[in-house]
Structure 1
Amino acid sequence: MTDRALPTGVVTPLVVFRTEDGATDRAATKALVEHQIAAGVRGLLVNGSTGELGNLAPAERSAVLRAVVETAAGRVPVWAGVAGLGTADAVTAAREAEADGADAALVLPPLFFDTSDAELAEHFRTVAAAIGIPVLAYDVPARAPRKLPVPLVRELAEEGVLRGLKDSSGNLTAGRQLCAATEHVAGFATYLGSEITLDLAAYLGFDGVVPGLANILPGSAVEVFDAARSGDPARAAEAQRTYQRLLGILDVPLDGAGFSARAIAAIKVAAAVVMDLPAPGTTAPFTQPDAAFVAAVTDIVQQSRTN
């Protein structure tokens, strides 16, 4: 386990591009990875929420991860999202991610039953013991039974079970408490999953950010976080305004779609627009983007790039 797997800065939670027959679109995936690395992101997350983790079969997750690892070729670390209904599922997924070349595993709590703090601790201990790459906890209450308690995270960090955490709770107060509670643990890294509070992440003490909008304009995310960390709040705020404009893609209506389907479709379409790729689809059961949706997202992207 090395610190290289836990970089300071922007880690992009990649969208997944697939062909019409459901296979990984290797050409589009390669273009996306190169787009990220050229912009200066410090890491890549495969099979996160933005990567439609909950909709992909195990073989599909492995195919995407292998394609990203192959293209990245060691230039930046690659994390793999790991989830399961229970601990046994998570261990299997974590071992497969390690075998596919992941540098670190971003592990969710058990997804079916709520668990006590002691049971949560045992879950993460078991997964960490099963693999030889760093384990980060994925704190995302919208996808799991509850938020991870800060005292539990501190305990597992001090044990060396957890090497980091991605906080996608949206609770900045809890985020500040997390950073303060773990700052004494050497090598423990904290990341904020956010779109328009990237500068605040740096001020609160996070080591990095994991913004879905970085799929589209990764350079803006890099500039925001780096400017904030270097003590240039004016430059950070100006770069952040690009993302504030771009955030409008999440409000584009798509008949029959829930918020997750609309948001992920918007980010995928916007990324394709920037890279001059055909508009991609989403994974079942998500509603597919229609022509009006693609046109509206494209218009917002173009305005965000020129303003």
Structure 2
Amino acid sequence: MTVPTPLTGVVPPVCTPLTPDREVDVPSLLRLVDHLVGGGVRGLFVLGSSSEAAFLRDGQRRLVVESVVAHMAGQLPVLAGAIDMTTPRVLDHVAAVTAAGADAVVVTAPFYAGTHPAEIARHYRVIAAASPVPVIAYDIPAAVHTKLPADVVLGLAADGVLAGLKDSSGDLAAFREVVSGARNRSDITGFSVLTGSELVIDAALAMGADGAVPGLANVDPHGYVRLDGLCRSGDWDRARAEQERLCALFGMVRVGDSGRMGGSSSALGAFKAALHLRGVIDCPVTAEPQVPLSPEEVERVGKHLATAGLL
């Protein structure tokens, strides 16, 4: 289907359920999709960070896209990450996910080697020239070690190279610059500005953002859709209360013992444990080499769910 311009509302980065032997659990994936659609989301972003895309083999990536696209049958737009280190490798992923039916691709800056802003701009221009679907930039400096400059993003938007930005930088000042430029520049139209933060969606929407891509929306899509609606209706007091409830729920990402696991193991393990406890997915296993949560840590995830009214 055609991606709305701009894309608005909640577009969760869909977790990738795995079997105990770490293959894609397609039945659980489709139940998760139904859970999200039932929560009122406006699109689905597969193969993002919360999808563990970096840990999946190429065949697994394609299976995820094919399965979700076929299940949705055009009901909502499906965005797919085409994330890799260099332009040629990203082009291969773009070809694969668009052949599988993705409605848009989401692409980071190149990584591993350091890149200049001119090289980042060239990266996106080459990809957009080859992509049959819109290209959305993904700003995630914690993972790729490069911050997308606002002037580069806005210049590419003005030239029709980029259709949107998913900002997971945590830099609200730079995010505001993109939002303001997208709103006020006459040479930019239909450009989607989406925040990737679970914790400041009310602030981002107050700035004029179009929507949000929060990983925690896998666990509580209804809550994030409710927050989005409260902000759009101008009910800022209730929006703040809902945002604060979701911030408390987000505390689940810190249940893992930092002495034996990294932040990704803790956060993605918590999301999957929560989905398992809620009966959405069959198995909470994360991809290798992430460290699994202990039974005690899973129990703490359950307490966060109960406090939030989700168990």
- Whether TM exceeds 0.5 here: the answer is yes
- 3-state DSSP of counterpart to 1:142: helix
Which residue in the other structure is 2:135 paired with?
135
Quick one: distance in 2 between partners of 1:78 and 1:31?
A: 16
One-letter identity of the residue aligned with 1:190: V
Superposition map of 1:36-185 within 5 A: 36-183=36-183, 184=185, 185=188
CA contact (8 A) 1:31 1:275 kept: no
Return closer, same or farther for 1:101/1:115 CA change in 2, 3 Å cut-off.
same
**Greater mean deviation of Cα atoms: 249-258 or 270-279:** 270-279
**1:22: how far off?**
2.5
Which residue in the other structure is 1:296 paired with?
300
One-letter identity of the residue aligned with 1:109: A
Aligned residue among 183, 187, 191 for 2:190: 187
Quick one: distance in 2 between partners of 1:173 and 1:5?
A: 24
Which residue in the other structure is 1:282 paired with?
286
**1:23: how far off?**
2.1
**1:145: how far off?**
2.6
Q: Which runs of 5+ in 1 are unaligned?
A: none
Quick one: distance in 1 between partners of 2:154 and 2:166?
A: 14
**1:63: how far off?**
1.1
Instruction: Say whether 1:23 aligns with 2:8.
Output: no
Aligned residue among 213, 238, 241 for 2:241: 238
**1:300: how far off?**
1.4
- 3-state DSSP of counterpart to 1:74: coil
CA contact (8 A) 1:80 1:102 kept: yes
Which residue in the other structure is 1:251 paired with?
254
One-letter identity of the residue aligned with 2:147: K
- 3-state DSSP of counterpart to 2:12: strand
Quick one: distance in 2 between partners of 1:110 and 1:5?
A: 26
- 3-state DSSP of counterpart to 2:142: coil
- 3-state DSSP of counterpart to 2:11: strand
Which residue in the other structure is 1:203 paired with?
206
Quick one: distance in 2 between partners of 1:155 and 1:249?
A: 38
**1:275: how far off?**
3.0
Aligned length in residues: 307
CA contact (8 A) 1:3 1:187 kept: no
Return closer, same or farther for 1:276/1:190 CA change in 2, 3 Å cut-off.
closer
Return closer, same or farther for 1:28/1:306 CA change in 2, 3 Å cut-off.
closer
CA contact (8 A) 2:69 2:102 kept: yes
Return closer, same or farther for 1:121/1:306 CA change in 2, 3 Å cut-off.
closer
Aligned residue among 220, 223, 230 for 1:220: 223
**1:285: how far off?**
1.0
- 3-state DSSP of counterpart to 1:166: strand
Q: Which runs of 5+ in 2 are unaligned?
A: none
Q: Which runs of 4+ in 1 moved over 4 A?
A: none
